[in-house]
Amino acid sequence: MAARRDLGAGKRKHGSGTSQLLKLSPDKERQMSERRELYRSANGDAWFLGREPANGHAFVIHQPNAPSGGRLTHIELGDFLRSEPKGPEHQALLRLIGTLVNVPPYA
């Protein structure tokens, strides 16, 4: 399952499975401008909702703070939402998804 990609190489654990990490080219990083910040923690970690311009696929980008290495990690939406523990970055994504519906609650 190629669910997670970052600027390094190797494998990392995310949630309950192992995910493949892929190096992104400078051109790919420039294309990554289609993103929206979801959450920024007090320690400087940031999470973004990103979209692949070529095919419209959405994913979550995690940018750790500089002392942690600051290497971007791309996580498929399903894997991100299934991962534990649920943090404020998960709640932020769910709130954003909720804004896409124009129906009053309990309608």
Q: What is the CA radius of gyration of the chain?
A: 14
Beta bridge partners of 73: 6, 62
What is the pLDDT confidence band of residue 33, given thresholds at 50, 70 and 90? low
- The secondary element (H helix, E strand) that includes residue 89 is helix 88-98
Domain boundaries, the chain: 4-98
Reply yes or no on whether the pLDDT at 5 is more than 50.
no
Reply yes or no on whether the pLDDT at 19 is more than 60.
no
Give the predicted TM-score (pTM) of the model.
0.67
For 21, other C-beta atoms within 10 Å of its C-beta total: 19
Query: What is the average pLDDT value for the chain, to the nearest integer?
Result: 77
pLDDT in tens, 48-81: 999 998 898 999 999 999 999 989 999 999 999 9
Q: Distance between CA atoms of 107 and 103, rounded to whole angstroms?
A: 7
